[in-house]
Structure 1
Amino acid sequence: MSLDAWIALAVVGTVFPLMALSRIGPDIILLGAVILLLTLGVIEPDQALAGFSSSALFTVAFLYILVASIRETGGIDLIIRYVLGRPRSEVRAQGRLLLPVAAISGFLNNTPVVATYIPAVISWSRRLNIPANRLLMPLSFASILGGTISLMGTSTNLVVNGLLADRYPELALRLFDIAWLGVPVAIVGLAYLLLVGRHLLPARRGAAEAFENPREFTIEMAVDPTGPLVDKTVEEAGLRHLQELFLVEIEREGNVVSVVGPGEKLKGNDRLIFAGTSAGAVELQQIRGLMPSHQGQSSLQKDFKERRLVEAVVSNQCQFIGQRIRDGHFRTLYGAAVLAVCRNGERVAGNLGQIRLQPADVLLLEARPPFIERHRQSRDFLLISQVNGAARPIHEKAWLAWSILAGVVVLAASGVMSMLNAAMLGAALSVLSGCCSIGAARRGLDTQVLLTIAASFGLGAALETTGAAAFLAQAGLGLAAGNPWLLLVGAYLLVALLTELVTNNAAAVITFPIVMASAESLGVNPIPFVVVVMFAASASFLTPIGYQTNLMVHGPGGYRFGDFLRVGGLLNLLTALVVLTLTPLIWPF
């Protein structure tokens, strides 16, 4: 191999551990790798920038706008309202949940689908008296399975098909070509979840139950109307820098002062709500002018239009990961106060300010009403939902948003337009019809995913042009003894392993040239290998970190790492068995 090939292998070999083990975003890591390869002369500028001009990348971007239009008009809420109902058993409840989710995920990016469903499912589980963790992991898995039904189901399918079209234009797949395999995979996977997987789910409470009783993590005191604290600011009263407590809100004459600032003046009979440990009550009782509040109902159980109680799931990209809540100035940055933290289904005890945040932690926040819209697209949070909030009203344009999506599917499936053209037209109609505002369209674009895809093209090009892909392909052929089916198995295992550790798009795009070089060396049909890359990249059931929807349900469901291994392990094996058995039958070598 040439020096450039060794450099390309070294860079790629460094990128995957970095994405798996560091908190740096995959887009930043991959962009850094492309810049390094370009600087060292391993790739040319046009190769480094090829991903940014890819039709597949723009197709994904326009589909994000279509998804945003359905979310903004309440299209998914409409389905939730009419489909969930009141089933009489747990298995029927799972059936009513999983089948529609799998169907929707065949045409919509599954991340917003799951994000919309989670708050509804938690509320629904309370009404049915079914623990939420019996539903949330199957929800994520069903969305992943549904994404294999069509090219639109996941961005990875579109990107891999785009790479295929660039290499072999005559072999490009149509919208529903992979349904011949995707439908059997979805049927087998859903049957497993309904018949076997539900018996493997944990019997453990989730975040909603951990936050159910506010008196477990809050202390309420009142300001003595004849005491020395009246008309003093929070700072002057010594309530700003308590050791084990945070002053969260002040209830005053039927109203509430939320996310209390240091300059807020105290009034007689103010009801002060502190978040923290019971040991902190001793500290409060030593402050002259404060007395225990004897009102019955907790202030946090009351509805005030000036504040919202919000559950937020911490992303693995959150800037506060590894930091203590007090040191990170969380309240200053977000305008929200942390009331409690739930991890693995249990509320984290001890001094609230000393808790170091971890990915998938669920935070109970007290915030002002604009917080939800302002931070809903924040990279720091996977999910933001209002606690016991009313369902969003169904917009009269929901039918129009769904109709536009259906039109895109028909145009692309019939061959009247290319997938890119149909998605572009659908996005334009969504904005022009008012289904999606310009601001919502911008917020709907997942820039991290788009940058990850674009940068991955540069690394794939480096492996291919330097001969590193051919070298790895020859090594793989040696291990497979020239047998195409064994090579197919090896390709599936490689991509499936990488997608559990890093983003599925990067795993698929970077391994694509290696897999193609292997197929070309054997002189066999490349389509089986392309399809295997698509399905292996989606088969992410083993860990909560392998797929974003898994991480989204991890905290609210109170799951542990081993829960995914137990339930998802057999599902991974079943998926692999179906894919590796049917692929050569549908697309012969």
Structure 2
Amino acid sequence: MDFQFWYTLILLILTTYFLVKEIFETELTLLSFLFLLILGKVINVKEAFVGFSNEGMLTIGFLFIVAAGLSNSGLMGRLQNFLFGKSNHSGYRKKLMRILFPVTTVSAFINNTPVVALLIPTLKSWTERSNLSPSKFFIPLSYAAILGGMCTLIGTSTNLIIYGLMEESGIKGMEMFEISKIGVPVAISGLLFIVFVVSRFLPDRKEALIKLEENTREFVVALKVTPEYKGIGKTIEEAGLRHLAGLFLFQIERNGEIIAPARPDEVIRVGDRLFFTGLPKTILELQKTPGLKLIEDAALDLKQYDSSQIRPFEVVISNSSPLIGQNVRESNFRQKYDAVIIAIHRNGERIKKKIGDIVLKSGDTLLLLAHKSFLKKYYHSRDFLLVSESVKVPSKPLKNQIIAVGTIALMVTMFVLHLMPIVVAAGLSVMILLLTRTISLEEAREAVDFRVLVIIATAFGIAAGIKNSGVAQFFAHFIILGGSAFGIIGVLAGVFLVASSYTNIITNNAAAALVFPIVLAVTTEMQVDPRPFILTLAIAVSSSFATPISYQTNIMVYGPGGYRFKDFLRVGLPMQLFIMTISVALIYFYYF
């Protein structure tokens, strides 16, 4: 064992410590490791920076934009009733299955992070309105997205990193659905394990979240029922308006008569005006419902606006505003400000009039839809005390939603049929989305997570360093030694344990880079086909269940679910062992 071995081993231990303790950002820690490997002459400059032009890294960059094209289209908003259902009478496990299986399916084809990001606010509002505990749903949501990522090559960035590392090592990269024969049974088994086992041990916490809602600033919106509405002739309960995410139907106006409170058995009729109170985000989503109309003469198509151009704003009417004392209809607000009033908030007071009849007062907060230039144009206007962007709700015209779905289908088809490499298919998909304005250049730039790309790019140089120094062979020897008593299945389990342990204390991308050369060293020493061991690695580094810091989606649900670190350990460790058992058994069955 020479200087380079001890130098790299010490650096590896220090890097792991820095990653676990989060002393510096992950990308800074890994970049430092990379440069120190160059200084120690463990790797040369070419080996260090080969990852910055690697096909896998570039593909992930393109896929960020493709995923954003789908998430920004507003299509997920259309699927909310399908995911959560319109009734609150079904049991907990049925609700869980209804949410988790579609999430896993979608996560197999687009990056799972935006899928979870889109569902968090809606799921949180739905659980609070339905008097359900968020902590019973958020860990399962994250786990379902992780399981979906295991099903295809493009399901998660770690699969593409491993694809790139394989190509760099002279091994043919994974096919689109090569991992599916392992990933799909593992995902289905994992979902059933979540529903019937993990769900039993999830905490039941909701008090703190309900208290938060009492102080939440809500707006009032009135929507007219037109003949196109599918809920006509149904009760409020049957139409799915009783348990809405982040919304409450508090009264109905019918032929000048006020029906309040709006009872669950009240039948909806054409011409009814439905009065809702809710949060800006949920109100903006509600007004997109076919058959519920906000304003008769709005020039703006409120159901199919482009959210890259039309943005939601909140404005507070000032003491000197010419709007004071006028009702909304008389004020010519649409013509004067080129903006549409969606809803109004007045110091917690519930306004029981349709928007056109509301007399505006100083201090009223208006929720608007206007061109993105509205902020710059009216920020210093004396008409408003405050102008600020509200919560953005993804929205695109229907044709762009169809293009977004079609582009992903086209990309997958081109790669599966070997018509072009995945990086070319993904790049072409990005060009289609940009040229059809399904995604804007600004949205595309915002979609790319350059932190992740730096981590991925450095991974290739680090993997080369671990291999060149002999550290990979050192660890490989112990994995073989520990697992050989149980034959090939013991070595597969050893690879899985090492990789999954690493992925739970550092990022899964970094874990893939650090463990890949060890896996190659194991297969070289045993003189066996590396492919089944690489697939074991791919499943293992995606098995980020036991800690909240192991994967982005776990971190994202940590706060909204009201979790503690030990909650993840309690449900994640059994999940980890279950997934290991299923995946190792399947790989052994298929390959040995």
Same fold (TM over 0.5): yes
Match of 1:414 in 2: 417
Contact 1:75 1:402 in 2 (8 A): no
Displacement of 1:509: 1.1
Change in 2 beyond 3 A, CA 1:393/1:471: closer
Give the Cα separation in 2 of the matches to 1:40 and 1:371.
51
TM-score scaled by structure 1?
Answer: 0.70
In 2: Cα distance, 1:114 partner to 1:152 partner = 16
Cα deviation for residue 6 of structure 1 reads 1.6
**Structure-2 residue corresponding to 1:532:** 536
Partner Cα distance (2:412, 2:436) in 1: 18
2:459 aligned partner, one-letter code: S
| Correspondent of 2:589 among 578, 585, 589 | 585
- Give the corresponding residue for 1:164: 166
TM-score normalised according to structure 2 size: 0.70
- Are residues 515 and 540 of structure 1, via their aligned partners in 2, closer, same or farther at CA, if it must alter by over 3 Å? same
Residue identity matched to 1:582: L
State the shift of 1:394 in Å.
5.5
Between the aligned partners of 1:47 and 1:152, the Cα distance in structure 2 is: 25
1:487 to 480, 491, 504: 491
Letter in 1 for 2:206: R
Match of residue 427 from structure 1? 430
Q: How many percent identity over aligned positions?
A: 33
Is there any run of 5+ residues in structure 1 with no aligned partner, and where? 217-253, 259-263, 266-294, 309-334, 336-366, 374-390
Letter in 1 for 2:531: I
Instruction: Answer whether contact 2:72 2:396 (CA < 8 A) is retained.
Output: no
1:212-239 superposed Cα distances (whole Å, 9 cap, x missing partner) = 22299xxxxxxxxxxxxxxxxxxxxxxx
Aligned residues of 2:507 and 2:550 also touching (Cα < 8 A): yes
Paired position in structure 2 for 1:94: 96
1:78, distance to aligned residue in structure 2 (A): 2.7
Kindly indicate whether residue 180 of structure 2 is the aligned counterpart of residue 189 of structure 1. no
* One-letter amino acid of the counterpart of residue 489, structure 1: A
* Contact residue 317 and residue 365 of structure 2 kept, 8 A: no
Match of 2:147 in 1: 145
Q: 1:544 to 1:368 in 2, by over 3 A?
A: farther
Q: Which AA in structure 2 matches 1:165?
A: E
Corresponding residue number in structure 1 for 2:204:
203
Structure 2 CA distance, aligned partners of 1:215 and 1:407? 43
Aligned runs of 1:110-509 on 2, under 5 Å?
A: 110-169=112-171, 171-205=172-206, 208-214=209-215, 256=316, 297=349, 304-305=365-366, 369-370=388-389, 372=391, 392-393=394-395, 395-396=397-398, 397-481=400-484, 483-509=487-513
Give, in whole Å, the separation in 2 of the partners of 1:303 and 1:6: 68
- Structure 1 84/46 Cα, relative in aligned 2: closer, same or farther at 3 Å? same
- Which residue does the alignment assign to 1:33? 33
Alignment check: 8 A CA contact 1:256 1:307 kept: no
Deviation at 1:470, TM superposition (A): 2.0
Instruction: State the partner residue of 1:229.
Output: none
Does structure 2 conserve the Cα–Cα contact (< 8 Å) formed by 1:75 and 1:399? Answer: no
* Whole-angstrom distance in 1 between the partners of 2:461 and 2:468: 11
Q: Measured at CA, do residues 478 and 72 of structure 1 come closer, stay the same or move farther in structure 2, by a change above 3 Å?
A: same
Q: State the distance in 1 between where 2:58 and 2:198 align.
A: 37
Displacement, 1:123? 2.2
The SS at the match of 2:366 is coil
Say which SS state the counterpart of residue 114 (structure 1) adopts. Answer: helix
Report the RMSD for the aligned CA atoms in angstroms. 2.8
> Matches of 2:547 and 2:161 in 1, distance apart?
23
Shift, 1:370, TM fit: 2.7
CA gap of 1:395–1:96, structure 2 versus 1, over 3 A, is farther
Q: Which runs of 5+ in 2 are unaligned?
A: 218-313, 321-346, 352-362, 370-378, 380-385
CA distance in 1, matches of 2:53, 2:315: 54
| Equivalent residue in structure 2 for 1:572, among 576, 579, 582 | 576
Q: What is the rounded CA distance, in whole Å, between the counterparts of 1:174 and 1:215 in structure 2?
A: 49
Q: 1:255 to 1:180 in 2, by over 3 A?
A: closer
Report the alpha carbon displacement of residue 441 of structure 1 after superposing the two structures with TM.
0.8
| Secondary structure of 1:152's aligned partner | coil
Q: 1:165 to 1:584 in 2, by over 3 A?
A: farther
Q: What is the CA distance between 1:466 and its match in structure 2? A: 2.3
Q: Report the 3-state secondary structure (helix = DSSP H, G, I; strand = E; otherwise coil) of the residue aligned with 1:199.
A: helix
CA distance in 2, matches of 1:475, 1:556: 41
CA 1:3/1:298 → structure 2, altered by over 3 Å: closer, same or farther?
A: farther
1:213–1:173: structure 2 CA closer, same or farther, 3 Å change rule? same
One-letter code aligned to 1:167: S
Q: CA offset at residue 76 of structure 1?
A: 2.5
Q: Deviations over 1:210-266 (max 9, x none)?
A: 4122299xxxxxxxxxxxxxxxxxxxxxxxxxxxxxxxxxxxxx97489xxxxx99x
Deviation at residue 303 of structure 1 after TM alignment: 7.6
- SS of 1:86's equivalent in the other structure is coil
Mean alpha-carbon deviation: is it higher for 434-443 or for 202-211? Answer: 202-211
Secondary structure at 1:211 match in 2: helix
The alignment partner of 2:548 has SS state of coil
CA distance 1:466–1:118, change in 2 (3 Å): same
Residue matched to 1:385: none
- Closer, same or farther: CA 201–32 of 1 in aligned 2, 3 Å: same
Q: Distance in 2 between matches of 1:303 and 1:498?
A: 53
SS in 1 for 2:544: coil
Q: Where does residue 6 of structure 2 map in the other structure?
A: 6
